Amino acid sequence: MADAQLRSPLWLVALLGRCPRCGTGGVFAGFLKIKPACSTCGLDLTRADSGDGPAVFVVLIVGAITAFTALWLELTFKPPYWVHAAVLGPMVLGLSLLLLRPLKALMIALQYRHQAGEGRQE
């Protein structure tokens, strides 16, 4: 399985929503719902919990892009506020939906690659 890890870069696994172990099976059963196991290699995905991590990164990335776009739009064209809403509203929604799935897959792949588990005190 180490060969599969070398052939499957993290960014590609995340972008395509593939299994972090084999790189071929998918991890998603729906838009954001995780499958119980990889259909190709059988990796148990029930313990894969990305939590709020992907949402935090989506908020930060989309927020920065939106802020710079709004500033550029205002300084370049000085449009009325409704134009800002008409341009930036769909942009925020589209970028959020576009980034959420790959970032969730990335968090799951990082958990697998670094053998992340429940917190424990020793």
State residue 2's pLDDT score: 52
Is residue 120 included in any domain, yes or no?
no
Expressed in angstroms, the distance from the first to the final Cα of the chain is 30
Q: What is the pLDDT along the chain (122 residues), one digit of tens a residue?
A: 554 445 679 999 999 999 999 999 999 999 999 999 999 999 999 988 888 999 999 999 999 999 999 999 999 999 999 999 999 999 999 999 999 999 999 999 999 998 887 766 65
Domain housing 85: 2-113
Is residue 122 included in any domain, yes or no?
no
**What is the pTM assigned to this prediction?**
0.86
Is residue 119 included in any domain, yes or no?
no
Between the CA of residue 53 and those of 35, 38, 39, 83, what are the distances in Å? 19, 22, 25, 32
Q: Going by C-beta distance under 8 Å and a sequence separation of 6 or more, which residues neighbour residue 27?
A: 17, 18, 19, 20, 34, 35, 38, 45, 48, 105, 108
Is residue 48 included in any domain, yes or no?
yes
Please report which residue ranges of the chain form alpha helices under DSSP H. 2-7, 10-16, 53-77, 81-113
Is residue 121 included in any domain, yes or no?
no
Residue 110 corresponds to which amino acid? L
State residue 43's pLDDT score: 92
State how many domains the chain has: 1
